Amino acid sequence: MSTGRSVAALVSLSLIAAACASGSAEIANGPLTLTVGAYTTPREAYREIIPAFVRDWKQQTGQTITFEESYLGSGAQARAIAGGFEADLAALSLEPDLETLVKAGLVAPDWKASALGGGMVTQSIVVIAVRPGNPKNIKNWDDLRRPGIKVLTPNPRTSGGAMWNLSAIYGAALRGATSAPAGDSAAAESLMRGILANVAIMDKGARESILTFESGVGDAAITYENEVLVSRKAGKLMDYVIPPATILIENPIAVVDGYAERHGATKAAQGFVNFLSTPTAQRLYAEHGLRPVHDSVAAEYRSKFPEVPGLFTIRDIGDWPRVTQVLLAPGGVFERASTRTAATK
Amino acid sequence: MSVAAVTRASPIQRVMRGGVFFYVAVLVMLPLVALASSGLSNGLAGVWHAITSPVAADALLLTLWTGALTAVINAVAGTATAWVLVRFRFPGRGLLQALVDLPFAIPTLVTGVMLVLLLGPTRPMGRWFESHGMEILFAPPAIVFALLFITVPFVVRAVEPVLAEMDPAEEEAARTLGASDAAIVRRVILPSLLPAIGVGALQSFARAIAEFGSIVVVSGNIPHKSLTGAIYIFGEVEGGRPDVAAAVSLVLLALSFGLSLGARALRDRVGGRRG
Amino acid sequence: MRPHLLASSPLRARELVEDEPARPRPATLEVDVIPREPMPRLAIEPIDSDPRRRAAWTPARGIVFVAVLLYVGAVLLLPLGALAFEAARLSVAVIVRGITSAAALSALKQTLLLTVVAVVCNGIFGIAAGLVLVRQRFRGIGVLDATIDLVLAVSPVMSGLAFLLLVGRNGWLAPALQALDLRVAFAFPGLVLATLFVTLPFTVREVSYVLAEVGNDEEHVAATLGSSPWRTFFRVTLPNIRRGLTLGLTLTAARALGEFGAVLVIGGAIAGRTDTATTFIYGALEERNDAAAFGLAIVLALVSMGFLITLENVRKKRARS
């Protein structure tokens, strides 16, 4: 009956392997695993920041930490964490996605107090990536509406970057920096509709979107400034245009207390959040294209990150609740624009 | 012939029966019931609402027509391939046999990657298509290409045994009576093959509408243009609307399962007729 | 004509076999039965034995032949060629470095574990279910048969969603899992569930077909001669279904290796924890890590070729007997 015994052995081995693979150590100050759920863009930055933190933490406390990272579109990541992905840290693209976790009871309502810059750990701006030399001569948001221009932007349901993109267009139009009259909501909507009609591909996340652009598709990609910088650092050829008015992207991070407490990881996770505000980490962010929030580091990198005359924040156009409502609610601008897009194709 | 019909099931048999049922109940029925429950949480009206929303409706239509086109192309190409495999001997025949089974062995994601490597705008073939103004990658043609790859085996494997078992006497008779090749194919061979071709076509249709891994890489996922049903469902899951995803899933599953049942029924007719 | 060869499901195969006139029972009373080769399931080789069925070459037939070769070449060989071309383009050193990174090896390990679990669990299930479907009669057997078939119609994303609705944070089983401090969604057990689901039908079907063909005469003889059920199973049944079992297990392994949509949804592709080979490739493409992505795709393609060779060997051996 050796067959039977081998089978039994194999089954037991599989079960043991499964059990081992799923558990994680929870001894106090013993080795610890921290899990980070992040949006797609800051991959490269965290690849360097995390080892720096691990070294720093080991020096300070003697504890060895291993990291597990997951990168998804910001909205998708927020849903995953709310749906059971036990991340100790949520590094997302925009505030509303973190608020999703607050509503799910996983993040403390006062998360903003826990880091420099009011919970925001990096900044960026929305830019338009174009082919080298800007052959289609794109200067402003209106140019994206021209017939024949193929635009890339991700899907706002899953991607934080897409939300920033749409807010930038909407805000710029409302503030009179485009052909649309200032304060004219309908005209702003019409501009957005026109641009969306030119969208060639709607990827799930900002990273996927810029990769598609790199693969030769599209004339212009609306994206984070840092995505372009990382892409160019990787040797891809592209230029980028900063429109006269664009939005300041502010990226939050928070400890996911709901899970971190269960893993005994709260202290380490908070330590990581604190570390992100230090000049060391902020410099690493800057090296990877993200605008630092730390004042002195920002001064160091002024030449890399140009000033934007028409810069505005989400608070200048009514803050997230209003903008999300206008853009994403059923019957909102995005839905109407997509439907009309279909009708005109 | 069957011993079990005469004796009652032994204890071992009953334990096995219970174990098998339990396994299937926990692993298959339970999750599918959870899916159905979520999908029907807003009742049938909710399901209707979910599948008639503009993006969903276009996605399902795209899924249906690309699947149907795949089935039709397979019906022709698969039959021809089966015929070549059964009626001819040539060097490399074994290789062709193996190739037909390849889609069953290879991961769908790898298929998608291969197609991107083949048709990307920076690749020779991709550049050729683009210079001629043809959109293949990130558009419906790429979807059909991927589906054709994935469904190659179905018609071929359905038709082969029937073709191999066909009595050549009828063909001989027709030939001696002076019928042309084409007429023989049309009047003698095809009628016998049609049910088997139907089985294979229905199976490829069912498989095609469920495909995900290769399509997500090659289609571009543009709403109203190249977004299929399965990818729409994925988007709704990631976008935090699992009930909508579940509702659309139920409809797609019903379609797919319906097609499979159709294939089963046809197959039983083929088997029964020759029994 | 062997109608059960075309059976649409295990139950139907059994019905068709039982409708055939009774085969003569073996006259021999030897207990240690010489394993009989099961009859070929796909009778596609008779042309070798029957020259009448072989087609003569004519221009029209030649055109069809070439057309078929072109179609198969375009649809199947071109993509493979593109992958091979890419493999040649990237240097071996770069590829090896890409696929031996910690993350890649971890992903490969996960896929390997999942494949082993799927083959073992669904292999055992497949044999048991095959025996139940073909040798037993009871109310509800049709439901069992249909449910197994249903699995094949489910799209990968749907099964991932279904399990998420079951074991996710707001799922049906969430309270129980919380109480037991078990992490299933976004953890390895979730991957196991998804993989077991999608690979469920393959071994059952193949084993059922063979069991129906072979019949239970030999088991009957062994039983009357006093062999215990276990002994009968291992000495009589198992050898008889060997080929079908190999076929089924190979298809199971290939499907487990290739699973993507379901594990992506239920697992979240967390590097080092729920990243499988396929989700790793998907993620590597996003990191512009072409070497790792294409390198791992090549590895998976090569393993698939291995499965394919096994499949073809089994088919050929059956056809010959």
Residue spans of alpha helices (H) in chain A: 2-22, 43-61, 74-82, 95-103, 160-174, 185-197, 206-214, 225-233, 257-263, 266-276, 279-287, 295-300, 319-328, 333-344
Check B235 against A72: CB less than 8 A apart: no
Q: C-alpha distances in angstroms, A17 versus A25, A250, C117, C129?
A: 15, 42, 10, 26
Contact list, A76 vs chain B (CB under 8 Å): 238-239
CA separation for the pair A278, A280 (Å, rounded): 5
CA atoms within 13 A of residue B181's CA, in its CB half-sphere: 10
Q: For chain B, what is the HEC assignment?
A: CCHHHCCCCCHHHHHHHHHHHHHHHHHHHHHHHHHHHHHCCCHHHHHHHHHHCHHHHHHHHHHHHHHHHHHHHHHHHHHHHHHHHHHCCCCCHHHHHHHHHHHHHCCHHHHHHHHHHHHCCCCHHHHHHHHCCCCCCCCHHHHHHHHHHHCHHHHHHHHHHHHHHCCHHHHHHHHHCCCCHHHHHHHHHHHHHHHHHHHHHHHHHHHHHHCCCCHHHHCCCCCCCCCCHHHHHHHHHHCCCHHHHHHHHHHHHHHHHHHHHHHHHHHHHHHHHCC
Check C85 against B21: CB less than 8 A apart: no
Check B88 against C65: CB less than 8 A apart: yes
Same domain, B98 and B3: no
Same domain, B27 and B117: no
Q: C-alpha distances in angstroms, A160 versus A133, A206, B152, C133?
A: 28, 8, 39, 51
Check B238 against A217: CB less than 8 A apart: no
Q: How confident is the model at residue A155 (pLDDT cuts 50, 70, 90)?
A: confident
Same domain, B175 and B266: yes
Domain encompassing residue B129: 43-273
Among the ranges given (A195-204, A227-236, A266-275), the one the predictor scored with the smallest mean pLDDT:
A195-204
CA atoms within 13 A of residue A198's CA, in its CB half-sphere: 22
Of residues B199, B194, B210, the one with CA closest to residue B264? B199
Give the closest of B16, B145, B182 to C131, CB-based.
Answer: B16
Q: What confidence score (pLDDT) does residue A343 get?
A: 38
Highest mean pLDDT among A2-16, A59-73, C27-41: A59-73
Going along C53-141, which residue ranges are E strands? Answer: none
Measure C146 CA to nearest chain B CA, in Å: 9
Closest residue on chain A to B123 (Cα):
A215
Residue of B69, B83, B113 to mutate for C, most C C-beta atoms under 10 A: B113
Q: Which CATH class is domain A26-122+250-300?
A: alpha beta
ipTM above 0.85, yes or no: yes
Helices and strands, number each (H, E), in chain A: 14, 11
Same domain, B246 and B214: yes
Whether the per-residue pLDDT at C290 is higher than 50: the answer is: yes
Q: How confident is the model at residue A10 (pLDDT cuts 50, 70, 90)?
A: low
Residues comprising chain B, all counted = 275
Whether the per-residue pLDDT at C29 is higher than 60: the answer is: no
Residue of A3, A15, A86, A101 to mutate for C, most C C-beta atoms under 10 A: A86
- At CA B158, angle to CA B155 and CA B161, rounded to 5? 135
Q: Which two tokens stand for residue A183?
A: 């304060």
Same domain, B233 and B160: yes
Task: Name the packing angle between helices A333-344 and A160-174 (round to 10°).
Answer: 90
Segments making up each domain of chain A, as ranges: 26-122+250-300, 123-249+307-344
How many beta carbons lie within 10 A of that of residue A220, not counting itself? 25
Place of tokens 């790199």: A214
CA separation for the pair C146, B29 (Å, rounded): 11
- End-to-end Cα separation, chain C, in angstroms: 16
Give the closest of A73, A217, A338 to B121, CB-based.
Answer: A217
Evaluate whether C8 touches B267 at the Cβ level (below 8 Å): yes
Of residues A97, A96, A116, A118, the one with CA closest to residue A38? A97
In our burial notation (b when 16+ CB lie closer than 10 A, e otherwise), range B74-99 reads bbebbbbbbbbbbbbeeeeeeebbbb
Evaluate whether A129 touches A232 at the Cβ level (below 8 Å): no
Which amino acid type is present at position A143? Answer: D
Closest residue on chain B to C294 (Cα):
B113
Check B222 against A158: CB less than 8 A apart: no
Number of inter-chain CB pairs under 8 A, B vs C: 326
CA separation for the pair A171, B14 (Å, rounded): 69
CA separation for the pair A329, A334 (Å, rounded): 8
Q: How confident is the model at residue C303 (pLDDT cuts 50, 70, 90)?
A: very high
Measure A294 CA to nearest chain B CA, in Å: 33
Measure A221 CA to nearest chain C CA, in Å: 16
- At CA C257, angle to CA C199 and CA C238, rounded to 5? 50
In chain B, the number of structural domains is: 2
Closest residue on chain C to B124 (Cα):
C82
Evaluate whether C5 touches B270 at the Cβ level (below 8 Å): no
Q: Which two tokens stand for residue A116?
A: 């420099």
Q: What confidence score (pLDDT) does residue A9 get?
A: 55
Whether the per-residue pLDDT at C28 is higher than 60: the answer is: no
- Chain B contacts in chain C segment 134-173 (CB below 8 A): 135-138, 140, 144, 147-166, 171-172
Calculate mean pLDDT across residues C29-52.
40
Measure A144 CA to nearest chain B CA, in Å: 18
Place of tokens 């691990």: A54
Check C271 against A234: CB less than 8 A apart: no
Contact list, B161 vs chain C (CB under 8 Å): 5-6, 42-44
CATH number at residue B163: 1.10.3720.10
Whether the per-residue pLDDT at A112 is higher than 70: the answer is: yes
CA separation for the pair A219, A215 (Å, rounded): 12
A interface residues, B as partner, C-beta within 8 Å = 72-73, 75-76, 78-80, 82, 100, 155, 157-158, 199-204, 212, 215-217, 338-339, 341-342, 345
Same domain, B118 and B221: yes
Check B225 against A345: CB less than 8 A apart: yes
CATH (one of 3.50.50.60, 3.40.630.10, 3.30.70.260, 3.40.190.10) for A123-249+307-344: 3.40.190.10
Q: How confident is the model at residue C53 (pLDDT cuts 50, 70, 90)?
A: low
Place of tokens 């060639």: A200
Closest residue on chain A to C103 (Cα):
A68
Measure C113 CA to nearest chain A CA, in Å: 7
CA separation for the pair B28, A27 (Å, rounded): 37
Q: Which residues does residue A255 pair with via DSSP β-bridges, in sequence order? A: A89
Who has greater pLDDT, A330 or A247? A247
For A339, residues 6+ apart whose C-beta sits below 8 A from its C-beta are B54
Q: How confident is the model at residue A11 (pLDDT cuts 50, 70, 90)?
A: low
- End-to-end Cα separation, chain B, in angstroms: 16
pLDDT tens digits, residue range B189-244?
888 889 999 999 999 999 999 999 999 888 877 777 888 999 999 988 887 789 99
Give the closest of A3, A7, A40 to C286, CB-based.
Answer: A40
Q: For C26, which DSSP code?
A: P
Give the closest of C43, C216, C297 to B165, CB-based.
Answer: C43
Evaluate whether C195 touches C118 at the Cβ level (below 8 Å): yes
Same domain, B217 and B268: yes
Measure B177 CA to nearest chain C CA, in Å: 17
Contact list, A234 vs chain C (CB under 8 Å): 288
For C89, residues 6+ apart whose C-beta sits below 8 A from its C-beta are none
Check A11 against C188: CB less than 8 A apart: no
Residues comprising chain A, all counted = 345
Going along chain C, which residue ranges are E strands? Answer: none
Place of tokens 């709403």: B223
Whether the per-residue pLDDT at C252 is higher than 90: the answer is: yes
Whether the per-residue pLDDT at A329 is higher than 80: the answer is: no
Same domain, B82 and B150: yes
Check A215 against B121: CB less than 8 A apart: yes
Same domain, B33 and B52: no
Check A342 against B58: CB less than 8 A apart: yes
Which amino acid type is present at position B271? Answer: G
Low-confidence ranges of chain B (pLDDT < 70): 1-8, 270-275
Whether the per-residue pLDDT at C183 is higher than 90: the answer is: no
Measure A10 CA to nearest chain C CA, in Å: 7
Same domain, B35 and B50: no
Helical (H) or strand (E) element with C250: helix C242-258
CA separation for the pair C223, C245 (Å, rounded): 23
Place of tokens 């059920």: C229
Contacts by residues B126-129 (CB-CB < 8 Å, ≥ 24 positions apart): none
Q: C-alpha distances in angstroms, C28 versus B129, C206, C218, C222?
A: 68, 28, 10, 11
Q: C-alpha distances in angstroms, C120 versus A266, B33, C256, C314?
A: 40, 26, 12, 20
CA separation for the pair A77, A111 (Å, rounded): 18
Contact list, A338 vs chain B (CB under 8 Å): 54-55, 223-224
Which amino acid type is present at position B115? Answer: L
Helical (H) or strand (E) element with C244: helix C242-258
pLDDT tens digits, residue range C56-103?
677 878 898 999 999 999 999 999 999 988 888 887 888 888 888 888
Q: What confidence score (pLDDT) does residue C45 get?
A: 43
Check C1 against B102: CB less than 8 A apart: no
Same domain, B222 and B144: yes
Contact list, B221 vs chain A (CB under 8 Å): 155, 201-204
Whether the per-residue pLDDT at A116 is higher than 80: the answer is: no
CA separation for the pair C277, C104 (Å, rounded): 7
Q: C-alpha distances in angstroms, C88 versus B123, C96, C291, C293?
A: 15, 13, 11, 14
Which CATH fold would you assign to the domain C91-320?
Answer: MetI-like fold (1.10.3720)
Task: Name the packing angle between helices A266-276 and A279-287 (round to 10°).
Answer: 60
Evaluate whether B211 touches C155 at the Cβ level (below 8 Å): yes
Closest residue on chain B to C308 (Cα):
B105
Contact list, B120 vs chain A (CB under 8 Å): 215-216
How many beta carbons lie within 10 A of that of residue C170, not counting itself? 12
Whether the per-residue pLDDT at A24 is higher than 50: the answer is: no
Residue of C18, C76, C214, C280 to mutate for B, most B C-beta atoms under 10 A: C76
